[in-house]
Chain A
Amino acid sequence: MTITTPMPDSRLPLAITGMILVAEIALYTVTQSSGIALLFGVLLLASYTTHWRIDSESGVWGIRLGLLILGITLSILKPLPNSESIIDIRWTNTLGVLCAAELLCQAWRRQPNRGVLLTLPGIIFLAASNSFDMRAIHWWAPAFTLCLILSLPSYRVSGASTLPRNRLIGLLFCACTLALGMIATALIHRNKLEIYFLGDRLLSPREISTTGLSNAPSLGATFGLRGSTRRVLRIQGSAQLRYLRAMAFSEYNNGRWAPDGTSRLMMPLTRYQIQKQLPGERLHIVELVPTQSTLYLPKETAAIWTDSELEWSPQFGGPIRHLNQGLATYDPIIPDTPSAKTILSDLGTDEREALLAVPVNLNSRIRTLADNIAPQTARPQEKIKAVTQYLTTRYHYSLTTDPGNGDPVTNFLLQHKSAHCEYFASGATILLRLLGVPTRYVIGYYAHEVCADGMVVRQRDAHAWAESWVNGVGWVTVDATPGDGRPDQTTDLRPWIGQRLFEWVQDQIGALQAWVLGLSLWQILGIVALLVVPFFLQRMLRARRRRISAAVSRGYTVRDKELAILAQRFTAWLVHAGFPCPETRPWQEHLAQINASDVAQAFVCLYTPLRFGPTCTSEDIQALHQLLCELERAGAKQ
């Protein structure tokens, strides 16, 4: 039996190299990166100039570590342009660079990993596809696909072929693959908008509505927010029950509240305007889910410390919205004592008028009801107390109600007398206005759940109440909802343990995320080095130890490690030639059986006395090395 199969090159097949280069060029073109991927491609081409390869596993890990550091450093130090991309371009660019580094490592190994060669070029090309600008991809995609098809025969298992031997069937196979690819591309291109929107919905975090109300909330039959225990806010620095105001409304018309139509200015606030040093309680409110950029603040807030840009509405007397894309944190400051401005100020004429307005067609019985609750001559605080007491004692809380025909609040006050907090708040507002107390309708959250470091507000804590203006006091919270209808009474105080555990994990991840985002570039590099470098060093050392122990277990002394490496190479060469030598058979016997070449026999004849004999010089090793190189180059053909 004669060996006729030529010894394959230690270099990567040309088609695979082409595929890798195309992917790297596409990455460079699309992401306009620092070119590190191109640099790796050039080094990959350099592997064609020599047959030298890294033999030891520890060397491979060392090279891998060096390329990893080089790739990350160069790709991080060069900031990327803010090009449009589907997801953050820095991540995909870094992924592509890392894959290019690993492919370079494989190209310089003695035996590259076929699975890596097959998958990583695809990942690089996928990273290069992270762009809305498809022009570059249109040029490179066909080239990549062609190289992929041409490289498929290189992946066949030894002794078997994944492609049919018949050339006609092989061509037909390639044509079908191309056709399927073109059809898939056309379909994707035709439906790209639908695909884009689907991806956007999947990738964008879902926002929740603030207390279920909009800019013009209407009173509904049910208050559907009471069931959800999803966390909305975390308040640190306070364990006090408090109302967190989101929005306030002044105009009521037939079941719908609206802000005052005279002016609704939204002006950006500077930090100078809002970040004041005031003595008082400082809260730290953290958004846990997007809340349509709405701020939730106690009504006593006199200053806000935040990194976000804010919008301010004069109508609501302060900032109501932040301009962050993501989640915001803000620190409202509640002064210990109200400011003199607050105490001495009064509502403007227009504002007072708006906050006393009732619908023109309001049922006269409501007016009568208001007069029966409190006399017009009573002080505002007395009126507020009377209305609150009247509603809380004579009306019942219910999550569902019948709005009926006509004005829902009128129906509630005069007929059903059973509804949820929105109706109570609306009713209190109307009644107090009829009694001459400027009052507005407010929605927000009622914070009551105490946790480890403060309080947590959940979706179910959504609430509606009223705020009345009292000269010399300021805004006074008027919660006319019966006690059993408040969030702290109608809900279980704490969710079940599974949810608490899940929330704890969420908090840890969030804290870690915040910490990571707060790190500087050098800190990040330092942490990566601390984590990654020991791992790579450990793999290098382990590979070296394994190699030495394997050598020692075969009876090699450490100084004979060169012979061990040569033996491994020769064994690998036999495998590549298609005639692997069983471990239980000596080489001499095996070569005689397969009628191997003179070079192979010369190698064994020279190797044997060096291995088992008393002497082994460096010149002998060198001669062996040359024989082996000649063997690897020339093949084993007899």
Chain B
Amino acid sequence: MTTPTSSTVAQLIMSNLGRVIKGKAAAIRLITISLLANGHTLLEDVPGTGKTTLAKSLARSIDGIFRRVQFTPDLLPADITGSSIFRPQEGSFEFHEGPVFSNVLLADEINRTSPRTQSALLEVMNERQVTVEGQRRPVPTPFFVIATQNPSEFHGTYPLPEAQLDRFAVRVTLGYPGITDELDILYSRNDHDPYDDLKPVVSCADILAVQQAVKAVRVERAVAEYLLRLVDATRQDPRVHLPVSPRGSLTLYRCAQALAFLEGRDYILPEDVRTLTGPVLAHRITLDTKARYGGVLPIHLLEEALEKVAVPR
């Protein structure tokens, strides 16, 4: 594997993913943006749309430590973060690292476990460390969580707490493929799974370098103010119970930088902010009861905000 330049890292990842996931270029792009922005991704969709496959493909594309956790109702927090085990021979406790000590963590069906277990990811997703028995243990870098879940209306699911949702950079919905793409899926899996042919295309160092390069993308003050005006619109809306937090603003800021970097620019545009507003902010907004039962969705509020806030020129 030759060392790719910063500008080609994202292209390599996206093309690698495209060999397995057909017809989902936008979703692949969003996940890549989230990765470059050093954020985490939540894949939410109905069963069987390829969420786990996509997450596994992304993990395999990176030459790093990959761990998978299948969230079940009986999962405990220690099963995620790790725990200390007593060794009678030494007479001491030895810490066994949990799955979070990896570069890519696939949290499959994250909403099938209890909120207690879900909250075990809070610290590590935000701070890249776990605190076990009073001792802080950093996780490897880069650290990337891809979580999958079915929509909360499905049986046997626990909705993620707002604090957890806020820690995901983007929420991606795959949706059903088109006929052409699904036909391609059928034939490409005729005799073997394309996932088996996937090889790592980038290393963790490449990812880190790209993440560092993304931070250097210029953000004009007017665009930053535009971003904040959009966020502020959610805070001023009376239908919103829990608006976008400053973490959300920062995440949108970073993702816009990543998008600009992806397109080969060293500056962001208002269009970048507009493109990412829905995927980055929608899952962070909690509506009040009346709005929810009125059929209003967070994405509707964001679309209204985009129509109300003036674009800098």
Contact = CB atoms under 8 A, between A and B. Distances in A.
Interface of A: 554-556, 567, 571, 583-589, 608-609, 611-614
A612 B268 contact: yes
B223 interface: yes
A556 to B, nearest CB: 7
Given A611-B220, A612-B220, A613-B218, A583 B311 contact: yes
A586 B311 contact: yes
B266 A584 contact: no
B306 A614 contact: no
A583 B268 contact: no
Contact of B313 (A567, A609, A613): A567
A7 to B, nearest CB: 20
B271 A589 contact: yes
A584 B222 contact: no
8 contacts: A555-B222, A583-B310, A584-B306, A586-B270, A586-B313, A611-B313, A612-B223, A614-B218
B269 interface: yes
Given A584-B306, A612-B220, A555 B312 contact: yes
Contacts of A608: 269
Contacts of B266: 613-614
Contacts of A584: 306-311
The binding surface of chain B is classed by DSSP as mixed
B311 A612 contact: no
B274 interface: yes
B155 interface: no
A612 B267 contact: yes
Given A583-B311, A586-B269, A589-B271, 13 more contacts: A555-B220, A555-B223, A555-B225, A556-B222, A571-B313, A584-B306, A584-B309, A586-B274, A586-B313, A611-B220, A612-B222, A612-B269, A613-B265
A555 B269 CA distance: 13
A555 B307 CA distance: 20
Interface in B233-284: 265-271, 274
Contacts of A567: 313
B266 to A, nearest CB: 7
Nearest to B225: A555
A298 B307 CA distance: 86
Contacts of B311: 583-586
Nearest to B310: A583
B221 interface: yes
A340 B177 CA distance: 130
A583 B313 CA distance: 9
A607 B215 CA distance: 24
A612 B256 CA distance: 13
Contacts of B218: 612-614
A352 B265 CA distance: 117
Across chains A and B, which 4 residue pairs bring their CB atoms closest together, nearest first? A555-B222, A583-B310, A613-B267, A612-B220
B308 to A, nearest CB: 6
Contacts of A583: 310-311
B244 to A, nearest CB: 19
Contacts of B310: 583-584
B305 to A, nearest CB: 9
Contacts of A614: 218, 266-267
A587 B313 contact: yes
A588 B268 CA distance: 14
A585 B271 CA distance: 9
Contact of A554 (B222, B274, B306): B222
Nearest to B222: A555
A338 B274 CA distance: 102
A280 to B, nearest CB: 81
A612 B269 CA distance: 7
A612 B257 CA distance: 13
Most buried by A among B218, B270, B309: B270
A631 to B, nearest CB: 16
A609 B267 contact: yes
Nearest to A588: B271
A527 to B, nearest CB: 45
Nearest to A556: B222
A554 to B, nearest CB: 6
Most buried by A among B223, B265, B306, B311: B311
Contacts of A613: 218, 265-267
A555 B308 contact: no
A608 B268 CA distance: 10
Contacts of B269: 586, 608, 612
Most buried by B among A583, A611, A612: A612
Contacts of A609: 265, 267
A90 to B, nearest CB: 50
A588 B272 CA distance: 12
Contacts of B313: 554, 567, 571, 586-587, 611
A586 B271 CA distance: 7
A588 B311 CA distance: 12
B67 to A, nearest CB: 40
Interface string B196-236: 00000000000000000000001011110100000000000
Contacts of A585: 311
A587 B223 CA distance: 14
A608 B313 CA distance: 8
A421 to B, nearest CB: 82
Contacts of B222: 554-556, 612
B303 to A, nearest CB: 11
A502 B7 CA distance: 84
Contacts of A587: 313
Interface in B286-306: 306
Contacts of A556: 222
A407 to B, nearest CB: 95
Contacts of A589: 271
A335 to B, nearest CB: 85
Contacts of B265: 609, 613
A538 to B, nearest CB: 29
Nearest to A604: B313
A586 to B, nearest CB: 5
Contacts of B220: 555, 611-612
B50 to A, nearest CB: 31
Contacts of B221: 555
A567 B311 CA distance: 13
A376 to B, nearest CB: 108
Nearest to B274: A586
Most buried by A among B220, B274, B307: B220
B22 to A, nearest CB: 27
A348 to B, nearest CB: 98
B222 to A, nearest CB: 2
Contacts of B267: 609, 612-614
Contacts of B270: 586
Contacts of A571: 313
Nearest to B268: A612
A358 B208 CA distance: 132
Interface string B108-134: 000000000000000000000000000
A508 B240 CA distance: 65
A556 B312 CA distance: 10
B218 to A, nearest CB: 5
A143 to B, nearest CB: 46
A92 B225 CA distance: 54
A556 B221 CA distance: 8
B302 to A, nearest CB: 13
A611 B267 CA distance: 10
B56 to A, nearest CB: 36
A554 B270 CA distance: 12
Contacts of B268: 612
Contacts of A586: 269-271, 274, 311, 313
A608 B263 CA distance: 14
A612 B220 CA distance: 6
A570 to B, nearest CB: 8
A609 B308 CA distance: 24
A561 to B, nearest CB: 14
A571 B308 CA distance: 18
